[in-house]
Structure 1
Amino acid sequence: MSIAVTPNLIAGSFVAEAGGEPIEVRDPSDDSVVGRVPAMTAADVDAVITAAVDGAKTWRAAGPLARGRILHDAAALIRAASADLITLIVSEWGKTTAEATGEVGKTAEFFEYYGGMGRAAQGELIPDARPETFTMIRREPLGVVLLITPWNDPLLTPARKMAPALIAGNAVVIKPATETPLITLRLADILHRAGLPAGALGTVTGRGSQIGDVLTGDPRFAAVSFTGSTTVGLDLQRRLAGSGVRVQTEMGGKNAAVILADADLDLALPVLMAGAFGQAGQRCTATSRLLVERSVADDVTRRVADAVAALRVGPGTAEGVDLGPVVSRAQQSDIRARVEAGISEGAELIARADVGADLIDGGAFVEPVLLTVDGDNSLWREEVFGPVLGMRIVDSLDEAIDAVNDSPYGLSSAVFTRSLAAAFRFVDAVDTGQVSVNQPTSGWDIHHPFGGFKESGSPFKEQGEEALQFYTRVKTAAVRTH
């Protein structure tokens, strides 16, 4: 039986037709087809952007209170549809039901949080030395913004970008990842039903190789917010430099956790495992490097090895599963090849979870592994984006900090210690945009400013009030009363 094409939202209407052959979306646990989406061409994309230009005017004129009410209504609709959204994420992406449940809940919270900002101050009054004059600072929307989102959080990341962009009064055009577009189109349907006017939101599905340059090169966009690989993000920064288009990039990470000799290991180990192997390691904030102080290295190695070996891998719908599949067969092959390359470079395999051959042959499953590596090994230096944890031994806090910082990435890091002095020394010295003490490298809440340093990000943070800095411009107005 043929599966219907899920339509894009264009100018307030849902359109399934496009110039290219529809793209199949597959369940990574068994390779079955779960949906189809349009493969847009340049002409199809132009229609979406043209509608957004008009939609930006309508949406800005609606005012912040009306915008906030629509975002709150969208949050209520997300909660009402949570069971269906969870099922779709599990089938399209392969996440466990528990992980998908968390993603849907956080998505609703993003729209609730930014919906409330419809009642926040939109600027401020500042002194003016001139007589009978007052001066105000106004925050205004940019116009039309392009959002390019990845497959690893296919509902949450669109919400993280959409909600602040929309409450600020911008029209949004969103291009989801080709692997996981269905859930983003469902979100667009929810926002449409919540009352977004025509053109305030448009969706674009298609192959990045065919329409990526068309999207990012269109001068009608005032800003581009991208989450994805460092290679693509850096290329985007270079291509848009000097164009006047504002660019936000959230890119790769090679996040390190440090366990010091005084750490509470009963606290640290479960937290470390969640940070390293949640979502099958497919988070930009996942812990992929572990640094352990020498005096506790044997104990930590034994505990982590036992925990890795005990991980249960299977379809996301199965009871008691810790890890589902990775997102695709291509990702499965890439992760396994990287592990083999690291071992050939001298990495030692310490522990591996048991994953049956039937799962690996039948779907995109990967064995979680723990390895010891040196600082030159590719598994230590390159982002793997899978359930792979590399470990090294250090002799001091300063050596650990140096190792954390010895990376082109600077997204997230963590330290486990009972010492306040060591904790604050770590917070001060590590070159990462996110840093935790006795918490995982992952798990940042909606109101926490989020973003990395170096090749992990750009100057603009996401989440919290900081996100509005990217989606607004400042206008200073002086008014003489008479």
Structure 2
Amino acid sequence: MKNTLLTTSHAVARPQIYIGGKWCNAQSDQRANIINPSTEEFLGEVAMAGAADVDTAVAAAVAAQAGWAATSGQIRAGYLRAIAEGVSAQRTQLAHLQTANNGKPLSESMIDVDDVIATFHYYADLAVELDAQQDQLVPLPSADYRATLRREPCGVVGLIVPWNFPMVTTAWKVAPALAAGCAVVLKPSEITPLPELALAAIIDQVALPAGVFNLVTGSGTEVGAALVAHSALAKVSFTGSTAVGSAVMKAAANDLKGVSLELGGKSAALVFADADIEQALDIVCGGIFFNCGQMCSATSRLLVEKSIAENFIARLKQRIDTIVVGDPLAEATQMGPITSAQQYRRVQDYIAQGLASGAQLLTGGGRPDGLEKGYFLMPTVFTDVPLDSAIWREEIFGPVLCINTFENEEEAIRLANHSEFGLVATLVTGDTTRAKRVSAALQVGLVWVNSGQVIFPQTSWGGMKKSSIGRELGPWGLHAFQEIKHVIFGMPERA
């Protein structure tokens, strides 16, 4: 590790990109202003790179790829653990930086930083295991042959991450890619690049071989498009909207490069009559108002069994009306602002569409009193939402909950599955047998039963339908950056 300690202030102070183990200026002088969504104040500038910078970054990664792929899993694990330790040493500063750039409450940012640490440690452990797993014997039906299995890095990869969970989605991609032996080029969101730049400063401290990790800031239309289209990449891993994911897949098809896509969601929370009501209220509120609802996993469609619906919805309104919205650095704050002015307008437009659709506004819908600056919005709830309305079908990506009821289990499953997305779902029920039965019937990649949205590095992340192609986290996240190679030997084997 380098001796010089770079704090998170580096992310604000130096509008540069990171290529070939060095901080450097982008070829263009263009810069973008980064705004604090709580105060609408200027945070700093970042470089707006272009296609030429992407070419330079990819070239650096290509030059580093063979050497990095040849290192042992043990060596790669050492680097990953050093990154985790570097993040841990700056845990508080990184959380404050994330809150300033993204707007989420500081307590949520602390959770995110801990997730980053756990992810790098987890993939360090898997990297160590790679050494023992190489050249495993494969059982064959014939004694005349012997076969072995190898998992090898797929090559240089482009990683594109969103603005709603800075550093977290980056760790979910960077850690397994490095563990697998891939050199990477990372493009953070142009809205929340500061946490990623701070993470790059930490990665710089551990002195990875030059070119193994590269970071290029800029717009999706310039940097993102150039990265996806680059012929030297073996794979692109993208997290973001379904519309952009579709464009990524089309562009990647020109070179037949691999893709992993983590996209949108319109997930359902199902509350049955036998549920623990207090637990259900906690789970429902957390599922839609954590991170101001800016989650692909947000359970923005609430389905409540009709026999308890009136009482449950009344109690839910009481709970929601007590949610403290405000300064994300204040200890009492439970929900901060929406992350950008553009997203703020988008959510407001959906609220207007909801009102026009005939849905009933139960609570919220506007700016909280006393918060004249910042992209703040009250927690918003609609009931009796038409099933063909935009707010029921489309991903809003904000603190907007839509409620309908169901008569029985069959209808609950049908309504939950009636979506083009299939990322996650939540069940709240006191019947274990029902929980297993309904979980099996839901067309999603992950189901939480009587639980908030806890995520572990050991379990997969991804969904069905238009929500995902591939999986992140767990061993599946590592396999996403590996190719399989079998070697078949004729017998007898010669010395």
Shared fold (TM-score, shorter chain, > 0.5) = yes
Alignment of 1:352-367 (within 5 A): 352=364, 355-359=367-371, 361-367=372-378
Q: Which residue of 2 aligns with 1:467?
A: 477
| The 10-residue stretch of structure 1 (391-400 or 371-380) with the greater mean CA deviation from structure 2 | 371-380
2:341 to 318, 326, 329: 329
Partner amino acid, structure 2, of 1:14? W
Partner amino acid, structure 1, of 2:456? D
Q: What is the RMSD computed on CA atoms of the aligned residues?
A: 1.5
Alignment of 1:60-99 (within 5 A): 60-99=69-108
Asked whether 1:386 is paired with 2:389, we answer no
The 8 Å contact of residues 28 and 92 in structure 1, kept in 2 or not, is answered as yes
Instruction: Assess, with a 3 A threshold, how the Cα gap between structure 1 residues 40 and 262 changes in structure 2: closer, same or farther.
Output: same
User: SS of the residue aligned with 1:95?
Assistant: coil
- TM-superposed CA distance for 1:131, in Å, is 5.5
The 8 Å contact of residues 216 and 224 in structure 1, kept in 2 or not, is answered as yes
2:61 to 52, 56, 72: 52
CA–CA separation in structure 1 for the residues paired with 2:31 and 2:13:
10
Q: Which residue of 2 aligns with 1:155?
A: 167
Alignment of 1:62-141 (within 5 A): 62-120=71-129, 121-123=132-134, 124-128=136-140, 133-141=145-153
The 8 Å contact of residues 26 and 32 in structure 1, kept in 2 or not, is answered as yes
User: SS of the residue aligned with 1:385?
Assistant: coil
Asked whether 1:257 is paired with 2:269, we answer yes
The 8 Å contact of residues 24 and 35 in structure 1, kept in 2 or not, is answered as yes
- TM-superposed CA distance for 1:195, in Å, is 2.8
Q: C-alpha offsets along residues 63-96 of structure 1, whole Å, 9 cap, x if unaligned?
A: 1110001101111111001111011101111111
| The 10-residue stretch of structure 1 (386-395 or 231-240) with the greater mean CA deviation from structure 2 | 231-240
Partner amino acid, structure 2, of 1:445? F
Partner amino acid, structure 2, of 1:433? G
Q: C-alpha offsets along residues 316-361 of structure 1, whole Å, 9 cap, x if unaligned?
A: 11120000111011111111111111111101011228854542x3
Partner amino acid, structure 2, of 1:474? I
User: SS of the residue aligned with 2:343?
Assistant: helix
- TM-superposed CA distance for 1:283, in Å, is 0.9
2:192 to 180, 186, 194: 180
Q: C-alpha offsets along residues 284-307 of structure 1, whole Å, 9 cap, x if unaligned?
A: 111100001111001110111111
Q: Which residue of 2 aligns with 1:454?
A: 465
- TM-superposed CA distance for 1:413, in Å, is 0.6
Asked whether 1:476 is paired with 2:486, we answer yes
- Which runs of at least 4 in structure 1 moved beyond 4 Å after TM superposition? 128-133
Q: C-alpha offsets along residues 429-464 of structure 1, whole Å, 9 cap, x if unaligned?
A: 111111121123x33211111101111111x11000
- TM-superposed CA distance for 1:234, in Å, is 1.4
CA–CA separation in structure 1 for the residues paired with 2:435 and 2:55:
51
Q: Which residue of 1 aligns with 2:359?
A: 347
Instruction: Assess, with a 3 A threshold, how the Cα gap between structure 1 residues 239 and 45 changes in structure 2: closer, same or farther.
Output: closer
CA–CA separation in structure 2 for the residues paired with 1:277 and 1:283:
9
- TM-superposed CA distance for 1:237, in Å, is 1.7
Asked whether 1:39 is paired with 2:40, we answer no
The 8 Å contact of residues 18 and 38 in structure 1, kept in 2 or not, is answered as no
The 8 Å contact of residues 308 and 352 in structure 1, kept in 2 or not, is answered as no
CA–CA separation in structure 2 for the residues paired with 1:76 and 1:168:
20
TM-score by length of structure 2 reads 0.93
CA–CA separation in structure 2 for the residues paired with 1:470 and 1:131:
33
CA–CA separation in structure 2 for the residues paired with 1:85 and 1:211:
25
User: SS of the residue aligned with 1:83?
Assistant: helix
CA–CA separation in structure 2 for the residues paired with 1:152 and 1:160:
14
CA–CA separation in structure 1 for the residues paired with 2:422 and 2:38:
32
CA–CA separation in structure 2 for the residues paired with 1:303 and 1:228:
34
Partner amino acid, structure 1, of 2:161? T
2:286 to 274, 293, 300: 274
Q: Which residue of 2 aligns with 1:308?
A: 320
TM-score by length of structure 1 reads 0.96
- TM-superposed CA distance for 1:168, in Å, is 0.3
Gaps of 5+ in 2: 1-11
CA–CA separation in structure 1 for the residues paired with 2:314 and 2:231:
56
